[in-house]
Chains A and B, each alone.
Chain A
Amino acid sequence: MAAIYSLYIINKSGGLIYYKDYGSAGRMDTNDSLRVASLWHSMHAISQQLSPVSGCLGIELLQADTFDLHCFQSLTGTKFFAVSEPGAQHMESLLKFVYELYTDYVLKNPFYEMEMPIRCELFDINLTQAVQKDRVTFLGR
């Protein structure tokens, strides 16, 4: 069983620009993944409004019965979130590593248009390697 079920990347407007499934039992079609991503964008924003103290940056971890959802938001508003097994370790490190891959293979790609879906082969290849690699590797980062 994979520790990570799926990975989403959404742009600062809440549009889904990348979705990768790693073995969920219940398949989501394209429309459903778009809706889920947009809904998460809204929930993230509302959670900031409901904070009892100032300086809230939004949901980092959502814990449910059968999964955890880890979310990382970059300073420019791009969100990376991963659905994983409950209690999966080092997901924060993985998301930051995915952010590095995103900056290296997507943002530096001169043919990539901002806010558009990601279709970069090198990004896909390196992301697959990162997810399959032993999680212990991320301990050192």
Chain B
Amino acid sequence: MQFFGGSEISPSPPAPTASGNNGHMMYVFNRNGVCLLYREWNRPLRTLDAQQDQKLMFGLLFSLKSLTAKMDPTSAVEKGNLGMPQLPGQGCSFHSFRTNTYKLSFMESPSGIKIILVTHPRTGDLRESLKYIYNLYVEYVVKNPLYTPGSPIRCELFNTTLDQYVRGIS
């Protein structure tokens, strides 16, 4: 049941202009790998259906985090086997990667919430931006008494505020 606004899906943001929006899409996962939120602003290419895309993204992040912890060249402690699950915050973690067509920025909270923002490749360091987005999540989703943890996020205020903020990221 939807209590906010008349529509389940918030109106799409205006089409991005050449000088404006640099965000492509955003995902939020919980610690179990459930996709809580998928926001899309500019995605011309689609190779998989939505569910497979989200599962593949979570698998990529899980494996990259495991790989990063294993490859840490500054830590001499025994790191265990590749693929062994790790506690959030444990070991060395990556915060972004860049390809020739996009840049993916990643943040994981101590409670296991993963926030992923995909932008154009020349974007700078977005770690502070992801922390701010996490604050938006806490303010508009976690503090919403109607929200059930573990279920997909359907909160109009969060979507609106998020769209406005991502539009301003340069």
Contact = CB atoms under 8 A, between A and B. Distances in A.
Nearest to B103: A61
A56 B102 CA distance: 8
Interface in A33-58: 35-36, 39-40, 42-43, 46-58
Interface in B19-66: 24-25, 42-45, 47-48, 53, 56-57, 59-60, 63-64
Contacts of B43: 52-53
A11 B155 CA distance: 47
Report, as a range, how many residues of chain B touch the other chain. Answer: 35 or more
B147 interface: no
B122 interface: no
A52 B82 contact: no
Contacts of A52: 24-25, 42-45, 101-102, 118
B76 A43 contact: no
Nearest to A44: B99
Contacts of A66: 72-75, 92
Contact of B82 (A25, A39, A55, A60): A39
A69 interface: yes
B95 interface: yes
Given A5-B73, A61-B97, A50 B68 contact: no
Contacts of B101: 51-57
B71 interface: yes
B76 A25 contact: yes
Contacts of A59: 97-99
A26 interface: yes
B82 A36 contact: yes
A46 B60 CA distance: 7
B100 A56 contact: yes
Kindly list the 7 A-B residue pairs having the minimum CB-CB distance in the complex, ordered from nearest.
A24-B73, A5-B73, A52-B24, A64-B94, A52-B43, A56-B101, A25-B76
22 contacts: A26-B72, A26-B76, A26-B77, A26-B79, A27-B76, A28-B70, A49-B47, A51-B45, A51-B101, A52-B24, A54-B101, A56-B100, A56-B102, A57-B101, A59-B99, A60-B98, A62-B68, A64-B95, A66-B72, A66-B74, A67-B74, A83-B73
